[in-house]
């Protein structure tokens, strides 16, 4: 990116004085006849993959094809929580790298992704969940991850609005406290990667839908799109919600069930909730954005669907659960509700790796936690595409595990702990 | 601004003054005044400061959807002052201003405006990284909105279900007419109106309008078939016409959520007047024509002294007449139907002058704009409609609706009151007819001998309601505010497009236009039009905006309703309470953890006899020919040859082979079985069985009934248990008549319909008695009474946990986790891989071929006094080799005992382990030969 286009306070000041516009963050391009790599899906995974391909491996003849606008899928619909206090050593290691990347992302991309490490608190309402919290804390400590179990008093001092009084049903007995966790501006992550990738020569094609994949003697040959065919030897499926449909175009069957996950946001109020608060038993997570809105999420809906509409049941259930945690906010108003699509695999682990079709890679099945893994997934997938084989961090997540019985699974922690 | 003499349509009651405070100072209004109208009548002009630039803001729409009238009322943030009625002693204050509305320190941002371009925060605050937390704190201070207190007055909320034939959203002339005629046709109707009174725009109209209003509202209010809800809003239309209404003004509660399954929904939500974008368009004193007409005609408030009016339509022209009548000098009328327009409004804390497109400056303190209407299509969008922009009328119009949704009124077109009423009337009749069709379709069964008349299938003819021609007016030649709540200007939209955020969705996310509390109702159309201007496209014609629920922001309190998270107690709870049992939360159940001395409770069971209330155990009554097939499928072990009177232990695995529940199932009769599950797993097991029966095996003859609450369950355990139970029942308890793992039915303590099974979680001889729940407490007390001489004692969960740990029985969810597949628990004997199929079989077959999974092991520390806390990690150096899943001090053995999961290389009996305690100290321990620390042969149990 040339110096003129670099974002800085000085640049803002100069352009303010001269009232001139910033240059475009990414350009429109004609679709080339061929690309070295075609990435399907302009979300954080696809764009991060494109960026790391260009930056780390010098592969710049890359197209990202996105059927709508960038960040229109899961990347723009999640609740933007980042953390690394996972239950298994493999999971912790993977997400710890993601947190590390997030911490340096603003400087790396020259785009402030507003990563606010407000701390991440997972509440325990029962003996058994307290035991799980202790387990996670012990595993995390051994991995060098900042994570500990705290009691109601400390919880109250970190989040005074939580009702730590003696509840009959959902008493707050303790919490897993993870200071490096926090929230990030999800759109900024998408745009930051897009801008940085575009500056390195990657073509971002919005409004360009993949319609088919031509496979010739077991190898990827052509990516067919709504704007024309692209000859390519490498296609990376970085979609969510439609991952199994895209894979089917290459004749690859993925063990994925797509389920909606609903979320909602309130009107803004002055800041009162600093950390991210999660309650597994109440299937709820809450954070307050810098703008003052509360962002709520839940667990996935218990049925398969491609619908991104919100339901009344979700809204009422969510409100009940949130008020159970913070009865003082009953007069706040819900402003918007929506749903995103989650591709669930049998073991809740993602599927990253090559497929039986040469040159067709997948980075899919991210369930409910794809956003927080975006940077590290992009980095690892780029490395895999460049080297032709997966690196050690993502090795356990290959597609073949479903045929070999070596499930990885983060089910315990990933299922509800966001 | 000041109060006028009486107006014909005014809604204020001048005999009932209301004293309230605004920013700590006393003010007076009248009953019927909105907060805004009461303040405006007292001369208040500035109501808020804007979010980003802290610009002074005044009345814009004077309605619920006024972005500038968000105030704090007591402990309630973001109250719509244009809508909420003023009340006696109400404490109202401005949001977003410090130290005062008149002088706001953050107003300095106005001067910085040129540097605070859209997304400025994405471009700075990046280095040095160490300063970022400080920037965060500064940015957080600029969050908009009101304040929530830690301990506010709790609101009172409720839910109600309704099943109307027809629900009409919107109580304007068309909506009222639809309601009347639907009710006349026999439909049960609910009419919902967002404002405090019916009438829509008729309320601020002329004498003809007021006459029509009188007539229509009298007909509505007196009709027995219509339930009217005012000050209520339809917040959403969900799938299958599931409609949510947030209702206010119900006695006894602050708000109520009405959930209505509607047979036919009539959307008559009308239009909202659209602001105009030009320089200074957000100054206090720039108002929409509807705001001015509301203030004058409903609240008798003179909105200014000297006005300029920009009008492009008839209602705008009517505002001129209203202004003149209210004694406002109309300095200039600019007819926007021609080439003239407004270029700029100037002033500091409010409008002082207006410059028109001919370059003339007019002194004025009021600028009224009437430049067009936005249809409120949210409910239509939610019904699957994709309203299309109609350039001729400069607004979106409905395109296609499902059968059970109809639209009438301004959302469809324009017309005289008569035309609107005629349209509404026809839609009302059609709605009633369609409701009857839907009702007929819903009735799947009719009593024998009753013949039902099929409903009339001929559609009622609806007269046309054309949308009038209207000029497209979005922005003047200058830049101004598009989104007032988010402080987004047209210049920002141009900047976003130039930077590459050139689709509307990206521009929206980048500039945050439409994202504020007004939800785009005022600004969305302008934003799309101006974005089109900036990108040289015509997105209005091609785009359809997605309106997401809710239609209007809705309180969390009313969504939740009464806080009702049910807590479950056993029927024996009164006894537990009398004995001051320590409560333990176990899922939705509250259970006795112990009665003061768990160690003594253990000793009583081991040496004499104890009873424990295990009522929360999941119990499912299974009947039918194919129950054995179901058991064979959901359990990993064999079930085909379970004789009547026998009980068997079973383990259930998910499809991934992970253990998710265990329990015993007994065969009570030829085709009758009773399945038990863990307490916490009861609902999950039920869902699991139901799922398989519905999706996998719909042909199987299996009937399931959940009877967890139907039986109280009491486990009688200990060497004296046979003697004790024998004193209460005629059932033959001799070991040869009622062996281990058998079930009997019969009478216990005079209570018929009980069943007993002989199993033993504690490791002692024990009988689990399941009693019809009404008699649970009775049987419990009889056991204690009859067993007094046998040393009977009640024991709680803690004692049970200690004893099961002594016996090495695992608890699913504690000693297993989300990764624990069947073979890891040392129950290989139970997993029958030679069965043709069962849930989890492929995964368990894979597991059986491997040797890399953790095993459950009984573990004892070398120092018998150290009890490693549960979740302590078993380590080799820094490498995790397993963990302690259960640990206790055993009163029976007088030493610490554990269960744990360990890596295979450490699972062999005698292996030496290192357990890392939470303080970092490591202690040594050994793996035992059996899971049981105590009586591994089970002689006590089988005795």
Q: For B826-863, write each residue's pLDDT tens digit.
A: 889 999 999 999 999 988 998 898 888 999 999 999 99
Same domain for A155 and A279, yes or no, is: yes
Test B656 with A346 for CB contact under 8 angstroms: yes
Q: Which of A300, A315, A344 is the last residue of a domain?
A: A344
Distance between B328 CA and the closest CA of chain A, angstroms: 37
Same domain for A288 and A157, yes or no, is: yes
Residue A142 contacts B, CB cutoff 8 Å: yes
Same domain for A248 and A262, yes or no, is: no
Nearest CA in chain B to A303: B691
- Segment B169-194 shows an average pLDDT of 98
Q: What's the pTM value of the predicted model, to 2 decimals?
A: 0.91
State residue B130's pLDDT score: 79
CA separation for the pair B49, B58 (Å, rounded)? 9
Q: Across the interface, which of A269, A319, A323 has its CB nearest the CB of B78?
A: A269
Test B499 with A17 for CB contact under 8 angstroms: no
CA separation for the pair A13, B124 (Å, rounded)? 10
Give the model's confidence band at B121: pLDDT under 50 very low, under 70 low, under 90 confident, else very high. confident
Q: Which residue has the higher pLDDT, A395 or B241?
A: B241
Q: Across the interface, which of A15, A188, A331 has its CB nearest the CB of B75?
A: A331
Neighboring chain A residues of B919 at a CB cutoff of 8 Å: none
Mutate to test the interface with B, among A405, A408, A414 (most CBs of B within 10 A): A405
Residue B684 contacts A, CB cutoff 8 Å: no
Contacts from B330-333 at CB under 8 Å and sequence distance 24+? B331/B306, B331/B307, B331/B362, B331/B363, B331/B364, B332/B308, B332/B356, B332/B360, B332/B362, B332/B364, B333/B308, B333/B309
Q: Which of B263, B66, B244, B233 is nearest to B164 (CA)?
A: B263
Which residues, including other chains, have CB under 8 Å from residue B124's CB and lie 6 or more apart?
A7, A8, A9, A12, A112
Residue B845 contacts A, CB cutoff 8 Å: yes
Q: Among A132-136, A413-417, B814-818, whose mean pLDDT is lowest?
A: A413-417
> How many inter-chain contacts (A to B, CB under 8 Å) are there?
296
Nearest CA in chain B to A327: B154
State residue A406's pLDDT score: 67
pLDDT > 70 fraction of chain B, expressed in percent and rounded: 99
At A127, which CATH number? 3.30.9.10
Nearest CA in chain A to B112: A16
State residue B310's pLDDT score: 98
Number of domains making up chain A: 2
Distance between B10 CA and the closest CA of chain A, angstroms: 30
Nearest CA in chain B to A405: B846
Peptide bond into A37 cis (omega under 30): no
Test B126 with A8 for CB contact under 8 angstroms: yes
Q: Provide the residue range defining the domain that includes A197.
A: 27-79+186-256+347-414
Same domain for A124 and A71, yes or no, is: no
Interface of A with B in 16-55 (CB under 8 A): 16-17, 19, 21-27
- Average pLDDT, rounded, for chain A: 91
Q: Which of A318, A344, A370 is the last residue of a domain?
A: A344
Same domain for A362 and A323, yes or no, is: no
Q: Would A86 be classed as within a structural domain?
A: no
Same domain for A205 and A251, yes or no, is: yes
Mutate to test the interface with A, among B67, B79, B117, B126 (most CBs of A within 10 A): B126
State residue B701's pLDDT score: 97
Which residues, including other chains, have CB under 8 Å from residue A67's CB and lie 6 or more apart?
A207, A208, A209, A210, A226
Q: Would A73 be classed as within a structural domain?
A: yes
State residue B544's pLDDT score: 60
Neighboring chain B residues of A131 at a CB cutoff of 8 Å: 814, 870-871
State residue A407's pLDDT score: 65
Mutate to test the interface with B, among A73, A169, A268, A304 (most CBs of B within 10 A): A268
- Segment A72-82 shows an average pLDDT of 93
At A403, which CATH number? 3.50.50.60
Model confidence at B382: pLDDT above 50: yes
Q: Would A329 be classed as within a structural domain?
A: yes
DSSP alpha helices (H): ranges in B451-572? 490-499, 504-511, 524-535, 539-542, 556-560
B872 within 8 A of B883, measured Cβ to Cβ = yes
Q: Which of B164, B227, B161, B157 is nearest to B192 (CA)?
A: B227
Please write the tens of the pLDDT for every residue from B337-380.
Answer: 999 999 999 999 999 999 999 999 999 999 999 999 999 999 99
Please write the tens of the pLDDT for every residue from B535-567.
Answer: 988 777 766 666 788 999 999 999 999 877 788
Peptide bond into A39 cis (omega under 30): no
Peptide bond into B451 cis (omega under 30): no
State residue B920's pLDDT score: 87
- In order of A55, A110, A216, B111, B873, the CA distances from A52 in angstroms are 5, 15, 28, 41, 37
CA separation for the pair B92, B25 (Å, rounded)? 9
CB atoms within 10 A of CB B861: 21
Please write the tens of the pLDDT for every residue from A87-122.
Answer: 777 777 788 888 899 999 999 999 999 999 999 999
Q: Would A95 be classed as within a structural domain?
A: no
Q: Across the interface, which of A207, A331, A346 has its CB nearest the CB of B76?
A: A331
Residue B445 contacts A, CB cutoff 8 Å: no
Give the ipTM: 0.94
Test A333 with B916 for CB contact under 8 angstroms: no
pLDDT > 90 fraction of chain A, expressed in percent and rounded: 72
User: Three-state DSSP class for B125?
Assistant: coil
Q: Which residue has the tokens 């175009």?
A: A249
Model confidence at A411: pLDDT above 60: no
- Average pLDDT, rounded, for chain B: 93
Same domain for A291 and A409, yes or no, is: no
Q: Would A283 be classed as within a structural domain?
A: yes
Test B813 with A128 for CB contact under 8 angstroms: yes
Residue B140 contacts A, CB cutoff 8 Å: yes
Test B883 with A135 for CB contact under 8 angstroms: yes
State residue B136's pLDDT score: 80
Same domain for A200 and A252, yes or no, is: yes
Residue B125 contacts A, CB cutoff 8 Å: yes
Test B873 with A268 for CB contact under 8 angstroms: no
Test B871 with A134 for CB contact under 8 angstroms: yes
Same domain for A240 and A351, yes or no, is: yes
Mutate to test the interface with A, among B52, B97, B122 (most CBs of A within 10 A): B122
Same domain for A176 and A261, yes or no, is: yes
CA separation for the pair B124, B139 (Å, rounded)? 12
In A58-156, beta strands by DSSP E: 62-65, 81-82, 120-124, 148-150
State residue A4's pLDDT score: 67
pLDDT > 70 fraction of chain A, expressed in percent and rounded: 96
Give the model's confidence band at A417: pLDDT under 50 very low, under 70 low, under 90 confident, else very high. very low
Q: Would A5 be classed as within a structural domain?
A: no
A332 within 8 A of B555, measured Cβ to Cβ = yes
Q: What is B289-320 written as a DSSP string? A: HHHHHIIIIIT-EE--SEEEEEE-SHHHHHHH
Same domain for A291 and A303, yes or no, is: yes
Contacts from B242-250 at CB under 8 Å and sequence distance 24+? B242/A312, B243/B167, B244/A312, B244/A315, B244/B550, B244/B554, B245/B190, B245/B192, B246/B550, B246/B552, B246/B554, B246/B555, B246/B558, B247/B192, B249/B196, B250/B158
Residue A291 contacts B, CB cutoff 8 Å: yes
- Segment A256-268 shows an average pLDDT of 95
Residue B289 is encoded by which pair of tokens? Answer: 């024509």
Q: Which residue has the higher pLDDT, A16 or B175?
A: B175
CA separation for the pair A89, A413 (Å, rounded)? 12
Distance between A16 CA and the closest CA of chain B, angstroms: 5
Please write the tens of the pLDDT for every residue from B760-780.
Answer: 889 999 999 999 999 999 999
Q: Would A385 be classed as within a structural domain?
A: yes
- Segment B789-793 shows an average pLDDT of 97
B345 within 8 A of B354, measured Cβ to Cβ = yes
Residue B541 DSSP one-character state: H
A176 within 8 A of A124, measured Cβ to Cβ = yes
Q: Which residue has the higher pLDDT, A411 or A193?
A: A193
Task: Please provide residue A8's backbone torsions phi and psi, each rounded to the nearest 5 degrees.
Answer: -165, 165
Interface of A with B in 295-334 (CB under 8 A): 309-312, 315-316, 318-320, 322-324, 327-334
Give the model's confidence band at A1: pLDDT under 50 very low, under 70 low, under 90 confident, else very high. low
Nearest CA in chain A to B254: A331
Model confidence at B819: pLDDT above 90: no
Same domain for A121 and A75, yes or no, is: no
Q: Would A4 be classed as within a structural domain?
A: no
CA separation for the pair B559, B397 (Å, rounded)? 30
CA separation for the pair A10, A7 (Å, rounded)? 8
Please write the tens of the pLDDT for every residue from B216-225.
Answer: 999 999 999 9
B481 within 8 A of B56, measured Cβ to Cβ = no
Distance between B67 CA and the closest CA of chain A, angstroms: 12
Neighboring chain A residues of B126 at a CB cutoff of 8 Å: 7-8, 106-107, 110, 112
CA separation for the pair B896, B865 (Å, rounded)? 6
Test B519 with A335 for CB contact under 8 angstroms: yes
Please write the tens of the pLDDT for every residue from B316-331.
Answer: 999 999 999 999 999 9
Helix H or strand E encompassing B191? strand B189-192
Q: What is B873-932 written as a DSSP string? A: EEEETTEEEEEEEEEEEETTTTEEEEEEEE-GGG-STT-EEEEE-TTS-EEEEEE-SSS-
Model confidence at B232: pLDDT above 60: yes
Which residues, including other chains, have CB under 8 Å from residue A250's CB and lie 6 or more apart?
A213, A215, A220, A235, A355, A357, A360
Residue A4 contacts B, CB cutoff 8 Å: no
Q: Which of A287, A309, A344 is the last residue of a domain?
A: A344
């Amino acid at each position: 990116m040339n110096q003129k286009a670099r974002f800085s306070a000085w640049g803002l000041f100069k352009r303010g004085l001269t009232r001139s516009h910033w240059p475009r963050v990414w350009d429109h391009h004609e679709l080339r006849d061929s690309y070295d790599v075609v990435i399907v899906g302009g979300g954080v995974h696809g764009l991060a993959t494109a960026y790391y391909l260009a930056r780390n491996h010098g592969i710049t003849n890359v197209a990202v094809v996105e059927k709508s606008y960038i960040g229109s899928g899961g990347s723009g619909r999640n609740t933007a929580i980042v953390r690394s206090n996972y239950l298994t050593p493999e999971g912790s290691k993977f997400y710890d790298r993601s947190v590390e990347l997030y911490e340096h992302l603003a400087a790396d991309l020259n785009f402030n992704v507003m990563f606010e490490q407000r701390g991440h608190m997972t509440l325990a309402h029962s003996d058994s969940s307290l035991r799980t919290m202790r387990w996670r804390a012990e595993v995390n400590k051994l991995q060098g991850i900042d994570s500990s179990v705290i009691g109601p008093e400390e919880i109250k001092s970190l989040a005074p609005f939580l009702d730590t009084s003696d509840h009959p049903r959902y008493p707050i007995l303790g919490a897993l406290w993870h200071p490096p966790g926090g929230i990030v501006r999800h759109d900024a992550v998408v745009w930051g990667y897009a801008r940085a990738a575009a500056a390195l020569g990657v073509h971002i094609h919005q409004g360009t839908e993949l319609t088919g994949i031509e496979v010739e003697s077991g190898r990827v040959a052509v990516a067919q799109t709504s704007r024309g065919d692209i000859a390519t030897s490498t296609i990376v499926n970085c979609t969510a919600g439609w991952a199994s449909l895209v894979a089917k175009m290459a004749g690859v069957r993925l063990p994925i069930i797509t389920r909606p996950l609903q979320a909602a946001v309130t009107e803004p109020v002055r800041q009162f909730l600093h950390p991210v608060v999660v309650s597994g038993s109440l299937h709820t997570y809450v954070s307050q954005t810098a703008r003052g809105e509360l962002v709520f999420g839940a667990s996935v809906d218990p049925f398969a669907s491609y619908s991104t509409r919100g339901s009344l049941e979700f809204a009422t259930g969510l409100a009940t659960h949130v008020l159970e945690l913070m009865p003082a906010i009953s007069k706040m108003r819900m402003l918007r509700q929506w749903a995103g699509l989650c591709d669930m695999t049998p073991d809740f682990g993602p599927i990253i790796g090559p497929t039986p079709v040469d040159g067709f890679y997948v980075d899919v099945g991210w369930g409910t936690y794809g956003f927080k893994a975006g940077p590290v997934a992009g980095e690892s997938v780029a490395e895999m595409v460049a080297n032709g084989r997966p690196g050690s961090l993502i090795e356990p997540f290959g597609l073949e595990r479903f045929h070999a019985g070596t499930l990885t699974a983060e089910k315990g922690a990933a299922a509800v702990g966001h | 601004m000041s109060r006028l003499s009486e107006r014909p349509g005014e809604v204020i009651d001048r005999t009932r003054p209301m004293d309230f405070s605004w920013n700590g100072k006393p003010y007076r209004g009248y009953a019927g005044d909105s907060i805004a109208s009461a303040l405006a009548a007292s001369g208040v002009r500035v109501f808020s400061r804007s979010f980003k630039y802290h610009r002074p803001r005044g009345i814009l729409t004077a309605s619920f959807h006024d972005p500038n009238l968000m105030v704090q009322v007591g402990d309630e943030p973001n109250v719509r002052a244009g809508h909420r009625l003023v009340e006696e002693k109400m404490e109202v204050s401005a949001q977003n201003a410090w130290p005062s509305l008149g002088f706001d320190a953050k107003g300095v941002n106005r001067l910085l405006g040129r540097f605070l371009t859209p997304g400025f925060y994405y471009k700075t605050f990046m280095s040095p990284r160490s300063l970022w937390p400080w920037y965060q704190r500064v940015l957080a201070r600029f969050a908009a909105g009101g304040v929530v207190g830690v301990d506010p007055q709790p609101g009172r909320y409720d839910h109600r279900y309704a099943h109307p034939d027809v629900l009409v959203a919107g109580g304007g002339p068309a909506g009222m007419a639809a309601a009347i005629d639907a009710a006349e046709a026999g439909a049960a109707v609910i009419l919902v109106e967002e404002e405090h009174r019916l009438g829509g725009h008729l309320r601020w109209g002329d004498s003809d309008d007021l006459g029509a209003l009188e007539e229509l509202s009298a007909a509505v209010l007196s009709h027995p078939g219509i339930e009217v809800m005012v000050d209520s809003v339809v917040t959403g239309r969900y799938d299958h016409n599931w409609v949510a209404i947030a209702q206010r003004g119900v006695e006894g509660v602050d708000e109520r959520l009405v959930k209505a399954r509607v047979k036919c929904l009539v959307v008559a939500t009308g239009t909202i007047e659209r602001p105009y974008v030009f320089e200074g368009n957000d100054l206090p004193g720039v108002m929409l024509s509807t705001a001015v007409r509301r203030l004058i005609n409903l609240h008798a408030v003179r909105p200014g002294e000297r006005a300029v009016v920009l009008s492009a339509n008839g209602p705008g022209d009517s505002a001129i007449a209203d202004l003149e009548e209210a004694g406002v000098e109309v300095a200039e009328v600019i007819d926007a139907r021609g080439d003239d327009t407004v270029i700029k409004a100037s002033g500091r804390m409010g409008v002082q002058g207006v410059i028109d497109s001919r370059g003339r400056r007019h002194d004025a303190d009021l600028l009224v704009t009437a430049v067009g209407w936005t249809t409120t299509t949210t409910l239509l969008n939610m019904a699957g409609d994709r309203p299309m922009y109609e350039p001729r009328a400069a607004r979106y119009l409905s395109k296609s609706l499902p059968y059970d949704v109809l639209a009438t009124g301004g959302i469809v077109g324009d017309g005289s009151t008569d035309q609107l009423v005629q349209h509404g009337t026809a839609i009302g009749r059609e709605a009633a007819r369609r409701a009857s069709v839907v009702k007929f379709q819903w009735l799947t069964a009719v009593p024998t001998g009753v013949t039902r008349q099929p409903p009339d299938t001929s559609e009622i003819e609806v007269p046309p309601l054309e949308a009038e021609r209207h000029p497209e007016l979005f922005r003047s030649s200058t830049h101004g505010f598009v989104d007032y709540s988010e402080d987004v200007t047209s210049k920002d939209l141009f900047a976003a497009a130039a930077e590459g955020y050139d689709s509307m969705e990206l521009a929206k996310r980048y500039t945050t236009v439409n994202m504020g509390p007004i939800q785009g109702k005022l600004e969305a159309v302008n934003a799309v039009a101006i974005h089109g201007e900036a990108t040289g496209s015509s997105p209005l014609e091609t785009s359809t905006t997605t309106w997401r629920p809710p239609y209007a922001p809705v309180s969390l309190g009313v969504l939740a309703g009464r806080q009702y998270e049910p807590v479950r107690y056993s029927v024996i709870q009164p006894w537990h309470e009398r004995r001051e049992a320590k409560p333990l939360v176990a899922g939705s159940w509250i259970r006795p953890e112990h009665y003061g001395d768990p160690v003594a409770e253990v000793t009583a069971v081991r040496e004499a006899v104890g009873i424990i209330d295990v009522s929360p155990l999941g119990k499912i009554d299974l009947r039918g020919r194919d129950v054995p097939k179901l058991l064979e499928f959901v359990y990993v072990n064999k079930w085909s040859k379970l004789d009547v009177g026998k009980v068997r232990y079973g383990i259930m695995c998910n499809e991934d082979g992970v253990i998710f529940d265990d329990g015993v199932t007994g065969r009570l009769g030829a085709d009758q079985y009773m399945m038990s599950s863990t307490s916490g797993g009861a609902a999950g097991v039920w869902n699991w069985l139901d799922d398989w029966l519905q999706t996998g095996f719909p042909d199987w003859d299996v009937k399931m009934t959940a009877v967890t609450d139907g039986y109280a369950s009491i486990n009688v355990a200990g060497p004296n248990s046979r003697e004790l139970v024998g004193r209460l029942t005629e059932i033959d308890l001799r070991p040869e008549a009622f062996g281990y793992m058998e079930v009997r039915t019969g009478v216990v303590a005079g209570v018929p319909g009980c069943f007993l099974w002989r199993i033993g979680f504690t490791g002692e001889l024990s009988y689990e008695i399941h009693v019809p729940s009404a008699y649970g407490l009775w049987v419990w007390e009889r056991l204690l009474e009859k067993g007094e001489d046998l040393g009977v004692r009640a024991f709680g969960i803690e004692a049970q946990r200690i004893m099961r740990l002594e016996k090495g029985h695992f608890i699913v969810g504690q000693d297993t986790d989300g990764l624990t597949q069947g073979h890891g628990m040392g129950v290989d004997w139970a997993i029958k891989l030679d069965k043709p199929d069962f849930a989890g079989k492929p995964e368990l077959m894979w597991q059986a071929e491997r040797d890399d999974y953790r095993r459950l092991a009984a573990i004892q520390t070398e120092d018998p006094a150290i009890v490693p806390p549960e979740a302590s990690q078993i380590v080799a150096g820094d490498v995790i080799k397993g963990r302690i899943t259960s640990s206790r001090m055993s009163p029976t053995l007088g030493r610490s005992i554990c269960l744990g999961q360990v890596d295979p290389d450490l699972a062999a009996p005698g292996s030496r382990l290192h357990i890392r305690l939470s303080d970092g100290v490591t202690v040594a321990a050994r793996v035992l030969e059996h899971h049981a620390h105590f009586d591994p042969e089970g002689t006590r149990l089988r005795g």
